[in-house]
Amino acid sequence: KMKRLAFLLSLGIICFAGKGVDVSTYVDTWTCLKNSGYNYAIPRGYCSYGAVDPNAQKNIDNARNAGFEFVDIYVFPCVRCGNPENQANQVKALTGFGTAWLDIERYDWGGSKSENQQFITAFASKLENLGIPVGIYTNYYNWQSIVGLDWTGCSQYSLWYAHYDGNPSFSDFRPFGGWSYPAMKQYKGSTTVCGAGVDLDYYSQSYL
């Protein structure tokens, strides 16, 4: 059964699939987005300069009020700030979201792969200890550069990967970091829907 499901995922054929948006700014057209067929919202919850996004709570609440089925956040860690546990504590101030997706992409990662692994592990572990579900946002090349393709220290978390091919399916996915299949794909970046600047996502509810 699992092999069949993985095969269907690889073809983009999955019963519990849908589309969502992620945003890094304040959005006031969540109802329009919902009516346009998106039912997953992921506003930025934490900024790379080391503070909770000032628009996060409003975006979470407004997406919920618009009827979005899933509302998560993504967390852009401040590596140069250090103390990932303290950053996780700040995320705890937000309410009404599901998973906190740790955004692991090539930006300000100056340490060794080992140091980066330790930072990510500490951040994710603290979020879990606070009762916050954790996911990982990255892609093959970011993971390779920051922690190494063979590091599997986060493979227990759901994977949201980025590949801007404009194709809402997982047919392009290749395993890395211990992940055999993803939960979600960011398939188009920096577009406009309902007057809002968004990235477009495709997800499988089976693996969220």
Catalytic one of 53, 103, 199, 201:
103
Residue 120 to residue 101: CA distance in whole angstroms: 12
Find the catalytic residue in 22, 72, 199, 201.
22
Identify whether 128 is a catalytic site residue: no
For residue 62, what are the CA distances in angstroms to 31, 67, 157, 190?
9, 9, 27, 21
103 counts as catalytic = yes
Helix axes of 113-129 and 84-91: crossing angle, nearest 10 degrees: 40
For residues 43 and 73, is the Cβ–Cβ distance under 8 A?
Answer: yes
Quote the tokens at residue 72. Answer: 């998560």
Residue 105 annotated among the catalytic residues of the structure: yes
Q: Where does the chain have alpha helices with state H?
A: 2-11, 30-35, 56-65, 84-91, 113-129, 140-146
Which of 106, 90, 81 shows the shortest CA–CA distance to 46? 90
Q: Which two tokens stand for residue 34?
A: 């919902």
Residue owning tokens 């930072």: 119
Q: Catalytic residue, from 61, 85, 105, 128: name it.
A: 105
Question: Which stretches within 21-102 are classed as H helix?
Answer: 30-35, 56-65, 84-91
What is the enclosing helix (H) or strand (E) of 155?
Answer: none
Catalytic residue list: 22, 103, 105
